[in-house]
Protein backbone atom coordinates (compact mmCIF):
# COMPACT_ATOMS: atom_id res chain seq x y z
CA UNK A 1 0.00 0.00 0.00
CA UNK A 2 1.24 3.49 -0.80
CA UNK A 3 1.49 5.30 2.52
CA UNK A 4 0.30 8.78 3.35
CA UNK A 5 2.99 11.13 4.59
CA UNK A 6 2.18 13.84 7.12
CA UNK A 7 2.70 17.29 5.68
CA UNK A 8 3.37 18.85 9.09
CA UNK A 9 5.53 18.00 12.06
CA UNK A 10 2.44 16.87 13.95
CA UNK A 11 3.01 14.25 16.59
CA UNK A 12 0.52 12.32 18.62
CA UNK A 13 -1.27 14.75 20.91
CA UNK A 14 -3.04 14.03 24.20
CA UNK A 15 -6.63 12.94 23.91
CA UNK A 16 -7.79 16.35 25.15
CA UNK A 17 -6.36 19.71 26.05
CA UNK A 18 -8.70 19.81 29.03
CA UNK A 19 -8.23 18.02 32.34
CA UNK A 20 -11.53 17.12 34.05
CA UNK A 21 -12.75 18.42 37.38
CA UNK A 22 -12.02 16.24 40.38
CA UNK A 23 -14.30 13.24 40.73
CA UNK A 24 -14.73 9.74 42.16
CA UNK A 25 -15.16 6.81 39.78
CA UNK A 26 -17.00 3.84 41.30
CA UNK A 27 -16.65 0.60 39.36
CA UNK A 28 -19.34 -1.97 40.12
CA UNK A 29 -17.99 -5.39 39.18
CA UNK A 30 -14.38 -4.63 40.11
CA UNK A 31 -13.44 -8.33 40.16
CA UNK A 32 -14.45 -8.86 36.54
CA UNK A 33 -12.49 -9.09 33.31
CA UNK A 34 -13.63 -5.69 32.01
CA UNK A 35 -12.10 -3.94 35.02
CA UNK A 36 -8.82 -5.86 34.72
CA UNK A 37 -8.43 -5.81 30.96
CA UNK A 38 -9.80 -2.40 30.04
CA UNK A 39 -10.87 0.02 32.77
CA UNK A 40 -7.88 0.15 35.11
CA UNK A 41 -5.37 -0.04 32.22
CA UNK A 42 -7.26 2.92 30.71
CA UNK A 43 -6.97 4.85 33.97
CA UNK A 44 -3.25 4.11 34.03
CA UNK A 45 -2.86 5.41 30.46
CA UNK A 46 -4.75 8.60 31.33
CA UNK A 47 -2.52 9.07 34.38
CA UNK A 48 0.54 8.44 32.22
CA UNK A 49 -0.56 11.16 29.76
CA UNK A 50 -1.38 13.66 32.51
CA UNK A 51 -5.12 13.61 31.78
CA UNK A 52 -6.50 12.47 35.12
CA UNK A 53 -7.52 15.26 37.48
CA UNK A 54 -5.32 15.77 40.51
CA UNK A 55 -8.42 15.40 42.69
CA UNK A 56 -9.43 11.87 41.69
CA UNK A 57 -10.20 8.52 43.29
CA UNK A 58 -11.28 5.19 41.79
CA UNK A 59 -13.27 2.83 43.97
CA UNK A 60 -13.75 -0.81 43.01
CA UNK A 61 -16.85 -2.50 44.39
CA UNK A 62 -17.46 -6.25 44.35
CA UNK A 63 -18.66 -9.02 46.64
CA UNK A 64 -15.30 -10.57 47.56
CA UNK A 65 -13.60 -9.42 50.74
CA UNK A 66 -10.18 -7.88 50.16
CA UNK A 67 -8.07 -4.99 51.37
CA UNK A 68 -7.22 -1.84 49.43
CA UNK A 69 -3.66 -3.12 49.02
CA UNK A 70 -4.69 -6.52 47.69
CA UNK A 71 -6.92 -4.78 45.12
CA UNK A 72 -4.04 -2.47 44.14
CA UNK A 73 -1.69 -5.42 43.72
CA UNK A 74 -4.23 -7.22 41.52
CA UNK A 75 -4.74 -4.14 39.38
CA UNK A 76 -0.99 -3.57 39.01
CA UNK A 77 -0.68 -7.11 37.64
CA UNK A 78 -3.57 -6.35 35.26
CA UNK A 79 -1.90 -3.17 33.99
CA UNK A 80 1.38 -5.06 33.57
CA UNK A 81 -0.43 -7.59 31.40
CA UNK A 82 -2.97 -5.54 29.45
CA UNK A 83 -1.84 -1.91 29.19
CA UNK A 84 -0.80 -0.61 25.79
CA UNK A 85 1.89 1.40 27.63
CA UNK A 86 4.41 -1.23 28.66
CA UNK A 87 6.66 -1.59 30.52
CA UNK A 88 4.78 -0.03 33.42
CA UNK A 89 6.34 3.11 34.89
CA UNK A 90 6.46 2.62 38.68
CA UNK A 91 6.21 6.34 39.45
CA UNK A 92 3.03 6.67 37.35
CA UNK A 93 1.49 3.57 38.89
CA UNK A 94 2.33 4.66 42.43
CA UNK A 95 0.54 7.99 41.95
CA UNK A 96 -2.55 6.18 40.65
CA UNK A 97 -2.43 3.42 43.25
CA UNK A 98 -2.59 5.96 46.08
CA UNK A 99 -6.05 6.88 44.77
CA UNK A 100 -7.28 3.34 44.14
CA UNK A 101 -9.60 1.83 46.76
CA UNK A 102 -11.88 -1.14 47.28
CA UNK A 103 -15.27 -1.58 48.96
CA UNK A 104 -16.76 -5.03 49.52
CA UNK A 105 -20.52 -5.25 48.96
CA UNK A 106 -23.05 -7.23 46.98
CA UNK A 107 -25.06 -5.37 44.39
CA UNK A 108 -28.37 -5.82 46.24
CA UNK A 109 -27.11 -5.16 49.80
CA UNK A 110 -28.48 -1.85 51.13
CA UNK A 111 -25.87 -1.78 53.91
CA UNK A 112 -23.11 -1.99 51.29
CA UNK A 113 -24.39 1.17 49.61
CA UNK A 114 -24.36 2.94 52.95
CA UNK A 115 -20.70 1.95 53.38
CA UNK A 116 -20.00 3.21 49.88
CA UNK A 117 -21.72 6.53 50.62
CA UNK A 118 -19.70 7.00 53.80
CA UNK A 119 -16.50 6.15 51.94
CA UNK A 120 -17.23 8.67 49.19
CA UNK A 121 -17.96 11.38 51.73
CA UNK A 122 -14.53 10.71 53.26
CA UNK A 123 -12.98 10.78 49.76
CA UNK A 124 -14.60 14.16 49.11
CA UNK A 125 -12.95 15.48 52.25
CA UNK A 126 -9.55 13.83 51.81
CA UNK A 127 -9.08 14.09 48.04
CA UNK A 128 -11.21 17.10 47.17
CA UNK A 129 -13.54 15.22 44.77
CA UNK A 130 -16.30 17.74 45.60
CA UNK A 131 -19.19 15.28 45.42
CA UNK A 132 -18.62 14.60 41.70
CA UNK A 133 -19.29 10.92 41.01
CA UNK A 134 -19.29 8.51 38.09
CA UNK A 135 -20.83 5.08 38.58
CA UNK A 136 -19.61 2.48 36.08
CA UNK A 137 -21.74 -0.67 35.75
CA UNK A 138 -19.20 -3.32 34.68
CA UNK A 139 -21.60 -6.04 35.81
CA UNK A 140 -23.93 -8.59 34.23
CA UNK A 141 -26.91 -6.72 32.71
CA UNK A 142 -29.32 -8.45 35.08
CA UNK A 143 -27.87 -6.29 37.89
CA UNK A 144 -28.31 -2.89 36.19
CA UNK A 145 -31.80 -1.98 37.39
CA UNK A 146 -31.10 -3.11 40.95
CA UNK A 147 -27.88 -1.09 41.19
CA UNK A 148 -29.57 2.04 39.85
CA UNK A 149 -32.42 1.65 42.34
CA UNK A 150 -30.03 1.13 45.27
CA UNK A 151 -27.92 4.14 44.29
CA UNK A 152 -31.03 6.30 44.37
CA UNK A 153 -32.26 4.87 47.66
CA UNK A 154 -28.87 5.46 49.31
CA UNK A 155 -28.84 9.13 48.30
CA UNK A 156 -25.73 8.68 46.20
CA UNK A 157 -27.06 10.50 43.14
CA UNK A 158 -27.11 14.28 42.90
CA UNK A 159 -30.17 15.86 41.31
CA UNK A 160 -27.95 18.26 39.39
CA UNK A 161 -26.63 16.56 36.24
CA UNK A 162 -23.80 19.08 36.01
CA UNK A 163 -24.23 20.78 39.31
CA UNK A 164 -22.37 23.31 41.44
CA UNK A 165 -18.69 22.87 42.22
CA UNK A 166 -17.36 22.60 45.73
CA UNK A 167 -19.35 20.40 48.04
CA UNK A 168 -19.51 20.30 51.79
CA UNK A 169 -18.39 17.61 54.23
CA UNK A 170 -21.47 15.49 53.56
CA UNK A 171 -21.39 15.84 49.80
CA UNK A 172 -25.19 16.03 49.75
CA UNK A 173 -26.73 18.25 47.12
CA UNK A 174 -23.34 19.10 45.69
CA UNK A 175 -21.37 18.11 42.64
CA UNK A 176 -22.64 16.07 39.71
CA UNK A 177 -23.49 12.42 39.21
CA UNK A 178 -23.18 10.34 36.02
CA UNK A 179 -23.64 6.67 35.25
CA UNK A 180 -21.95 4.58 32.55
CA UNK A 181 -23.92 1.51 31.47
CA UNK A 182 -22.29 -1.23 29.39
CA UNK A 183 -23.94 -3.11 26.57
CA UNK A 184 -26.14 -5.03 26.12
CA UNK A 185 -28.71 -2.39 27.02
CA UNK A 186 -31.73 -4.68 27.05
CA UNK A 187 -32.43 -7.87 25.08
CA UNK A 188 -35.09 -6.45 22.79
CA UNK A 189 -37.20 -3.33 22.41
CA UNK A 190 -39.45 -3.95 25.42
CA UNK A 191 -36.60 -4.72 27.84
CA UNK A 192 -34.59 -1.71 26.59
CA UNK A 193 -37.57 0.54 27.22
CA UNK A 194 -38.04 -0.94 30.69
CA UNK A 195 -34.37 -0.43 31.56
CA UNK A 196 -34.54 3.16 30.31
CA UNK A 197 -37.60 3.76 32.49
CA UNK A 198 -35.89 2.24 35.56
CA UNK A 199 -32.75 4.30 34.95
CA UNK A 200 -34.71 7.54 34.58
CA UNK A 201 -36.34 7.05 37.97
CA UNK A 202 -32.94 7.96 39.45
CA UNK A 203 -30.88 9.63 36.69
CA UNK A 204 -31.82 12.25 34.14
CA UNK A 205 -31.04 11.39 30.52
CA UNK A 206 -28.12 13.84 30.47
CA UNK A 207 -26.55 11.91 33.34
CA UNK A 208 -26.74 8.56 31.51
CA UNK A 209 -23.76 7.43 29.39
CA UNK A 210 -24.59 4.23 27.48
CA UNK A 211 -21.21 3.03 26.33
CA UNK A 212 -20.30 1.32 23.07
CA UNK A 213 -16.54 0.99 23.03
CA UNK A 214 -16.47 0.95 19.22
CA UNK A 215 -17.33 4.65 19.29
CA UNK A 216 -14.10 5.33 21.17
CA UNK A 217 -11.90 3.82 18.47
CA UNK A 218 -9.82 6.29 16.50
CA UNK A 219 -10.97 5.18 13.04
CA UNK A 220 -14.62 5.34 14.05
CA UNK A 221 -14.15 8.94 15.16
CA UNK A 222 -12.16 9.58 12.00
CA UNK A 223 -15.21 8.69 9.90
CA UNK A 224 -16.61 12.10 10.81
CA UNK A 225 -13.42 14.09 10.34
CA UNK A 226 -12.57 12.24 7.13
CA UNK A 227 -16.02 12.91 5.66
CA UNK A 228 -16.70 16.43 6.80
CA UNK A 229 -13.15 17.78 6.96
CA UNK A 230 -12.08 16.85 3.41
CA UNK A 231 -13.98 18.40 0.53
CA UNK A 232 -12.79 15.75 -1.92
CA UNK A 233 -14.87 12.93 -0.36
CA UNK A 234 -18.12 14.40 0.95
CA UNK A 235 -19.48 15.25 -2.56
CA UNK A 236 -19.01 11.57 -3.51
CA UNK A 237 -20.70 10.23 -0.35
CA UNK A 238 -24.16 9.52 -1.78
CA UNK A 239 -26.30 7.37 -4.06
CA UNK A 240 -24.99 8.98 -7.27
CA UNK A 241 -21.49 7.59 -6.74
CA UNK A 242 -21.73 4.78 -4.16
CA UNK A 243 -22.83 1.35 -5.38
CA UNK A 244 -23.08 -0.28 -1.96
CA UNK A 245 -21.57 -0.35 1.52
CA UNK A 246 -20.32 -3.39 3.47
CA UNK A 247 -19.78 -3.47 7.22
CA UNK A 248 -17.85 -6.44 8.58
CA UNK A 249 -17.19 -7.44 12.19
CA UNK A 250 -15.26 -10.70 12.07
CA UNK A 251 -13.95 -12.66 15.06
CA UNK A 252 -11.46 -15.47 14.65
CA UNK A 253 -12.33 -17.16 17.96
CA UNK A 254 -15.28 -19.31 18.87
CA UNK A 255 -17.20 -18.69 22.08
CA UNK A 256 -14.10 -19.63 24.13
CA UNK A 257 -15.85 -20.78 27.31
CA UNK A 258 -18.58 -18.12 27.11
CA UNK A 259 -21.15 -20.47 25.66
CA UNK A 260 -23.70 -19.97 28.42
CA UNK A 261 -23.73 -16.18 27.87
CA UNK A 262 -23.46 -16.28 24.09
CA UNK A 263 -26.28 -18.78 23.71
CA UNK A 264 -28.65 -16.21 25.25
CA UNK A 265 -27.35 -13.45 22.99
CA UNK A 266 -26.24 -14.46 19.50
CA UNK A 267 -24.59 -12.43 16.76
CA UNK A 268 -27.38 -9.87 16.29
CA UNK A 269 -27.66 -8.95 19.97
CA UNK A 270 -23.91 -9.13 20.49
CA UNK A 271 -22.79 -7.10 17.48
CA UNK A 272 -25.48 -5.88 15.08
CA UNK A 273 -27.85 -3.98 17.37
CA UNK A 274 -25.06 -1.94 18.91
CA UNK A 275 -21.64 -1.83 17.21
CA UNK A 276 -22.72 -2.30 13.62
CA UNK A 277 -25.74 -0.01 13.63
CA UNK A 278 -23.62 2.65 15.31
CA UNK A 279 -21.02 2.33 12.53
CA UNK A 280 -23.75 2.46 9.90
CA UNK A 281 -25.24 5.62 11.40
CA UNK A 282 -21.86 7.40 11.39
CA UNK A 283 -21.18 6.40 7.79
CA UNK A 284 -24.63 7.42 6.57
CA UNK A 285 -25.54 10.46 8.71
CA UNK A 286 -25.98 13.98 7.40
CA UNK A 287 -23.54 16.71 8.47
CA UNK A 288 -24.57 17.98 11.91
CA UNK A 289 -25.11 21.70 12.41
CA UNK A 290 -22.42 21.65 15.11
CA UNK A 291 -20.35 19.01 16.84
CA UNK A 292 -22.26 19.42 20.05
CA UNK A 293 -23.32 16.03 21.50
CA UNK A 294 -27.03 16.27 20.74
CA UNK A 295 -26.49 17.68 17.25
CA UNK A 296 -24.36 14.66 16.30
CA UNK A 297 -26.72 12.18 17.92
CA UNK A 298 -29.77 13.79 16.31
CA UNK A 299 -28.33 12.99 12.89
CA UNK A 300 -27.50 9.41 13.89
CA UNK A 301 -31.05 8.83 15.07
CA UNK A 302 -32.43 10.19 11.79
CA UNK A 303 -30.46 7.54 9.90
CA UNK A 304 -31.66 4.73 12.17
CA UNK A 305 -35.26 5.86 11.76
CA UNK A 306 -34.85 6.00 7.97
CA UNK A 307 -33.75 2.34 7.71
CA UNK A 308 -36.49 0.39 5.97
CA UNK A 309 -37.99 -2.29 8.26
CA UNK A 310 -36.76 -5.76 7.36
CA UNK A 311 -39.30 -7.52 5.15
CA UNK A 312 -39.68 -10.85 6.95
CA UNK A 313 -41.71 -12.30 4.09
CA UNK A 314 -38.43 -12.19 2.11
CA UNK A 315 -36.22 -13.28 4.99
CA UNK A 316 -33.91 -15.43 2.87
CA UNK A 317 -33.07 -12.54 0.54
CA UNK A 318 -32.51 -9.90 3.26
CA UNK A 319 -31.17 -11.92 6.21
CA UNK A 320 -28.94 -14.96 6.70
CA UNK A 321 -28.16 -16.73 9.96
CA UNK A 322 -25.83 -19.64 10.63
CA UNK A 323 -23.90 -21.59 13.25
CA UNK A 324 -20.33 -22.77 12.98
CA UNK A 325 -19.48 -26.45 12.99
CA UNK A 326 -16.09 -27.98 13.74
CA UNK A 327 -13.10 -26.72 11.82
CA UNK A 328 -9.65 -25.27 12.31
CA UNK A 329 -8.36 -21.76 12.67
CA UNK A 330 -4.66 -20.92 12.76
CA UNK A 331 -3.78 -24.52 13.50
CA UNK A 332 -6.28 -24.70 16.37
CA UNK A 333 -9.21 -27.08 16.34
CA UNK A 334 -12.54 -25.36 17.04
CA UNK A 335 -15.40 -27.64 18.09
CA UNK A 336 -18.94 -27.36 16.78
CA UNK A 337 -20.80 -24.51 18.48
CA UNK A 338 -23.58 -26.84 19.66
CA UNK A 339 -20.96 -28.92 21.50
CA UNK A 340 -19.46 -25.97 23.40
CA UNK A 341 -19.88 -26.03 27.21
CA UNK A 342 -22.93 -24.08 28.36
CA UNK A 343 -24.70 -24.19 24.98
CA UNK A 344 -28.24 -25.58 25.15
CA UNK A 345 -29.09 -28.79 23.35
CA UNK A 346 -30.76 -28.12 20.02
CA UNK A 347 -29.75 -24.45 20.13
CA UNK A 348 -30.81 -22.18 17.28
CA UNK A 349 -28.62 -19.24 18.36
CA UNK A 350 -26.83 -17.68 15.40
CA UNK A 351 -23.05 -17.29 15.51
CA UNK A 352 -23.13 -15.65 12.05
CA UNK A 353 -25.56 -13.10 10.68
CA UNK A 354 -25.80 -11.10 7.48
CA UNK A 355 -28.41 -8.45 6.75
CA UNK A 356 -29.22 -6.31 3.73
CA UNK A 357 -30.54 -2.93 4.85
CA UNK A 358 -31.73 0.07 2.87
CA UNK A 359 -31.98 3.67 4.02
CA UNK A 360 -35.01 5.51 2.72
CA UNK A 361 -33.70 9.04 2.49
CA UNK A 362 -32.53 11.38 -0.26
CA UNK A 363 -28.81 10.60 0.13
CA UNK A 364 -28.96 6.80 0.20
CA UNK A 365 -32.14 5.64 -1.56
CA UNK A 366 -31.37 2.48 -3.53
CA UNK A 367 -27.92 1.89 -1.99
CA UNK A 368 -27.81 -1.41 -0.08
CA UNK A 369 -25.90 -1.65 3.19
CA UNK A 370 -24.67 -5.20 3.85
CA UNK A 371 -23.94 -6.02 7.49
CA UNK A 372 -21.99 -9.21 8.24
CA UNK A 373 -20.65 -10.55 11.52
CA UNK A 374 -19.60 -13.93 12.81
CA UNK A 375 -17.49 -15.99 15.16
CA UNK A 376 -14.83 -18.53 14.15
CA UNK A 377 -14.08 -16.70 10.90
CA UNK A 378 -10.57 -16.54 9.36
CA UNK A 379 -9.51 -13.16 10.76
CA UNK A 380 -10.30 -10.76 13.58
CA UNK A 381 -11.15 -7.58 11.73
CA UNK A 382 -13.68 -4.75 11.74
CA UNK A 383 -13.96 -2.57 8.68
CA UNK A 384 -16.31 -0.54 6.51
CA UNK A 385 -15.97 -0.91 2.71
CA UNK A 386 -17.60 1.77 0.56
CA UNK A 387 -17.68 0.56 -3.04
CA UNK A 388 -18.14 3.14 -5.77
CA UNK A 389 -20.02 2.74 -9.01
CA UNK A 390 -18.22 1.85 -12.21
CA UNK A 391 -17.48 4.67 -14.69
CA UNK A 392 -20.42 5.23 -17.07
CA UNK A 393 -18.20 4.38 -20.06
CA UNK A 394 -15.56 1.64 -19.73
CA UNK A 395 -12.88 3.24 -21.88
CA UNK A 396 -10.41 0.54 -20.89
CA UNK A 397 -12.70 -2.44 -21.40
CA UNK A 398 -10.32 -3.63 -24.14
CA UNK A 399 -7.34 -3.60 -21.80
CA UNK A 400 -5.84 -6.63 -20.13
CA UNK A 401 -6.87 -7.14 -16.56
CA UNK A 402 -4.45 -9.52 -14.86
CA UNK A 403 -6.89 -10.60 -12.16
CA UNK A 404 -9.80 -11.42 -14.48
CA UNK A 405 -10.26 -13.53 -17.58
CA UNK A 406 -13.09 -11.28 -18.81
CA UNK A 407 -11.75 -8.18 -20.51
CA UNK A 408 -14.72 -5.99 -19.55
CA UNK A 409 -14.22 -6.44 -15.80
CA UNK A 410 -12.62 -3.49 -14.06
CA UNK A 411 -12.32 -3.58 -10.30
CA UNK A 412 -14.27 -0.63 -8.89
CA UNK A 413 -12.86 2.01 -6.59
CA UNK A 414 -13.28 1.07 -2.95
CA UNK A 415 -12.73 3.12 0.20
CA UNK A 416 -11.96 0.96 3.24
CA UNK A 417 -12.09 2.21 6.83
CA UNK A 418 -10.25 -0.32 9.02
CA UNK A 419 -11.49 -0.08 12.62
CA UNK A 420 -9.37 -2.91 14.04
CA UNK A 421 -6.70 -4.16 14.01
CA UNK A 422 -4.11 -1.99 12.22
CA UNK A 423 -6.41 1.02 12.28
CA UNK A 424 -6.27 3.00 9.07
CA UNK A 425 -7.92 4.08 5.81
CA UNK A 426 -7.21 2.93 2.26
CA UNK A 427 -8.54 3.72 -1.22
CA UNK A 428 -8.36 1.23 -4.10
CA UNK A 429 -7.78 2.74 -7.54
CA UNK A 430 -6.92 1.30 -10.96
CA UNK A 431 -3.50 2.18 -12.40
CA UNK A 432 -1.46 1.28 -15.46
CA UNK A 433 1.72 -0.62 -14.55
CA UNK A 434 5.06 0.13 -16.27
CA UNK A 435 5.42 -1.25 -19.79
CA UNK A 436 4.06 -0.81 -23.31
CA UNK A 437 0.76 -2.63 -22.80
CA UNK A 438 -2.41 -0.91 -21.64
CA UNK A 439 -3.62 -2.81 -18.63
CA UNK A 440 -5.16 -1.97 -15.29
CA UNK A 441 -4.04 -3.24 -11.91
CA UNK A 442 -5.56 -2.32 -8.54
CA UNK A 443 -3.42 -0.22 -6.23
CA UNK A 444 -4.16 0.97 -2.72
CA UNK A 445 -3.46 4.42 -1.33
CA UNK A 446 -3.80 4.98 2.36
CA UNK A 447 -2.32 5.09 5.79
CA UNK A 448 -2.07 3.07 8.99
CA UNK A 449 -2.17 5.00 12.27
CA UNK A 450 0.89 3.26 13.68
CA UNK A 451 3.03 3.98 10.64
CA UNK A 452 1.86 7.56 10.11
CA UNK A 453 1.83 8.82 13.69
CA UNK A 454 4.53 6.56 15.12
CA UNK A 455 2.40 5.10 17.92
CA UNK A 456 -0.65 2.94 18.34
CA UNK A 457 -3.86 4.93 18.88
CA UNK A 458 -5.24 5.25 22.38
CA UNK A 459 -7.55 2.51 23.59
CA UNK A 460 -11.26 3.23 23.23
CA UNK A 461 -11.90 3.12 26.97
CA UNK A 462 -9.32 5.84 27.57
CA UNK A 463 -11.21 8.25 25.34
CA UNK A 464 -14.65 7.30 26.66
CA UNK A 465 -13.74 7.47 30.36
CA UNK A 466 -12.15 10.88 29.80
CA UNK A 467 -15.18 12.13 27.86
CA UNK A 468 -17.52 11.09 30.66
CA UNK A 469 -15.36 12.88 33.23
CA UNK A 470 -15.56 15.98 31.02
CA UNK A 471 -19.32 15.63 30.58
CA UNK A 472 -19.07 15.12 26.80
CA UNK A 473 -21.69 12.59 25.68
CA UNK A 474 -21.01 12.83 21.91
CA UNK A 475 -19.60 9.28 21.70
CA UNK A 476 -22.24 7.73 23.94
CA UNK A 477 -25.66 6.42 22.96
CA UNK A 478 -28.85 8.33 23.69
CA UNK A 479 -32.13 6.75 24.76
CA UNK A 480 -33.85 7.19 21.40
CA UNK A 481 -30.81 5.72 19.60
CA UNK A 482 -30.87 2.48 21.56
CA UNK A 483 -34.65 2.09 21.28
CA UNK A 484 -34.67 2.81 17.54
CA UNK A 485 -31.94 0.22 16.96
CA UNK A 486 -33.87 -2.36 18.95
CA UNK A 487 -37.05 -1.54 17.03
CA UNK A 488 -35.24 -2.51 13.83
CA UNK A 489 -33.77 -5.85 14.94
CA UNK A 490 -36.38 -7.12 17.41
CA UNK A 491 -38.81 -8.34 14.68
CA UNK A 492 -35.93 -10.27 13.08
CA UNK A 493 -35.01 -11.91 16.38
CA UNK A 494 -38.64 -12.80 17.07
CA UNK A 495 -39.05 -14.34 13.60
CA UNK A 496 -35.88 -16.41 14.01
CA UNK A 497 -36.96 -17.55 17.47
CA UNK A 498 -40.32 -18.68 16.08
CA UNK A 499 -38.61 -20.58 13.24
CA UNK A 500 -36.22 -22.43 15.54
CA UNK A 501 -33.56 -24.27 13.56
CA UNK A 502 -35.55 -24.02 10.33
CA UNK A 503 -33.56 -21.83 7.96
CA UNK A 504 -30.43 -21.96 10.14
CA UNK A 505 -27.38 -22.58 7.93
CA UNK A 506 -23.96 -23.89 8.98
CA UNK A 507 -20.36 -23.11 8.12
CA UNK A 508 -17.01 -24.69 9.03
CA UNK A 509 -15.01 -22.82 11.65
CA UNK A 510 -12.18 -21.01 9.90
CA UNK A 511 -14.25 -20.21 6.78
CA UNK A 512 -15.84 -16.89 5.78
CA UNK A 513 -19.34 -18.18 6.49
CA UNK A 514 -22.02 -20.32 4.88
CA UNK A 515 -22.37 -20.75 1.13
CA UNK A 516 -25.90 -19.39 1.55
CA UNK A 517 -24.36 -16.02 2.45
CA UNK A 518 -22.36 -16.01 -0.79
CA UNK A 519 -25.52 -16.65 -2.80
CA UNK A 520 -27.26 -14.01 -0.69
CA UNK A 521 -25.04 -11.18 -1.98
CA UNK A 522 -24.38 -12.71 -5.42
CA UNK A 523 -28.12 -12.49 -6.10
CA UNK A 524 -27.56 -8.71 -6.20
CA UNK A 525 -24.61 -9.07 -8.57
CA UNK A 526 -22.07 -8.31 -5.84
CA UNK A 527 -19.37 -10.12 -3.84
CA UNK A 528 -18.28 -10.03 -0.22
CA UNK A 529 -15.15 -8.02 0.52
CA UNK A 530 -13.01 -10.46 2.49
CA UNK A 531 -9.88 -8.86 3.99
pLDDT digits (tens, 9 = 90+) for 406-422: 444 568 889 999 988 88
21-25, 172-176, 409-413, 479-483 — which is least confidently predicted? 172-176
CATH number at residue 82: 3.40.50.720
Q: Which of 182, 207, 225 is the last residue of a domain?
A: 182
Q: What is the pLDDT of residue 6?
A: 43
Long-range contacts of 482-487 (CB under 8 A, 24+ apart): 482/185, 482/186, 482/192, 482/196, 482/210, 483/189, 483/192, 483/193, 483/196, 484/301, 484/304, 484/305, 485/273, 485/274, 485/277, 485/304, 486/186, 486/188, 486/189, 486/192, 486/273, 487/189
- The reply to whether 177 falls in a domain is yes
* Domain-embedded: residue 209: no
* φ, ψ (nearest 5 deg) of residue 118: -65, -40
Question: Is there a domain that residue 312 lies in?
Answer: yes
Of the residues 139, 163, 182, the one at which a domain ends: 182
Does 280 have pLDDT greater than 50? yes
Note whether 410 and 504 are same-domain residues.
Answer: yes
Model pLDDT, residue 4: 47
Q: What is the pLDDT of residue 313?
A: 82
54 and 116 in a single domain? The answer is yes
Based on the domain organization, do 247 and 320 belong to the same domain?
A: yes
Q: For residues 371 and 354, is the Cβ–Cβ distance under 8 A?
A: yes
Query: Which residues, at least 6 apart from 500, have a Cβ–Cβ distance to it below 8 Å?
Result: 348
160 and 82 in a common domain: yes
- pLDDT given for residue 9 in this prediction: 43
- Whether residues 509 and 440 share a domain: the answer is yes
Q: Are residues 363 and 290 in the same domain?
A: yes
- Rounded Cα distance, 239 and 359, in Å: 11
Q: How many domains does the chain have?
A: 2
Q: Are residues 224 and 150 in the same domain?
A: no
Kindly indicate the confidence band of residue 89, based on its pLDDT and cuts at 50, 70 and 90: very high
pLDDT (0 to 100) of residue 429: 79
Distance between CA atoms of residues 217 and 106, nearest Å: 33
In angstroms, what CA-CA distances link 96 with 42, 111, 122, 201, 340?
A: 11, 28, 18, 34, 40
Residue 463, in any domain of the structure: yes
Q: What is the pTM of this model?
A: 0.89
Report yes or no on 190 lying in a domain: no
What CATH code is carried by the domain that includes residue 270? 3.30.360.10
pLDDT confidence band for 168 (50 / 70 / 90): very low
Within a domain: residue 197? no
Helix axes 68-82, 90-97, angle to 10 degrees: 140
446 and 338, same structural domain?
yes
Please say which residue of 157, 182, 207 terminates a domain.
Answer: 182
pLDDT 10s digits, 182-230: 988 999 999 999 999 999 999 999 999 999 988 888 778 888 888 888 8
Question: Is 300 part of any domain?
Answer: yes
Nearest partner of 151 among 163, 167, 135, judged by Cα: 135
Strand partners, 232: none
Parent domain of 174: 19-182
Instruction: State whether 262 and 149 are in the same domain.
Output: no
In a domain, 352, yes or no: yes
Q: Show which residues are catalytic.
A: 275
Q: What Rg, from alpha-carbon coordinates, does the chain have?
A: 25
Q: Looking at the structure, tell me whether residues 123 and 236 fall in a common domain.
A: no
For residues 178 and 226, membership in a common domain is answered with no
333 shares its domain with 415: yes
Amino acid sequence: MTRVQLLTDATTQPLRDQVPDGCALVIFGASGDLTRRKLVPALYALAHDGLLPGRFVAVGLARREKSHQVFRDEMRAAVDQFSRLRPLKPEVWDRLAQRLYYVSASFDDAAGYERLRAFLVDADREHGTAGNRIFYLATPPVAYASIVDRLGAAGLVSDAWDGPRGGDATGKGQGWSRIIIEKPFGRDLSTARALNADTHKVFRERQVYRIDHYLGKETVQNILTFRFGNSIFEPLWNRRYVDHVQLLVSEDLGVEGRGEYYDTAGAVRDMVQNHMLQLLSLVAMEPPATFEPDAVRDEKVKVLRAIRPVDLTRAGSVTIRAQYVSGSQGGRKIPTYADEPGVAEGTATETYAALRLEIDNWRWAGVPFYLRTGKALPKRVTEVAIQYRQPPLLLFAHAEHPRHEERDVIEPNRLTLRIQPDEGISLRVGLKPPGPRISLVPARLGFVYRDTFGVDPAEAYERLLLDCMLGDSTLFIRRDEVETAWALVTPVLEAWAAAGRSGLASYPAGSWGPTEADRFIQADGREWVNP
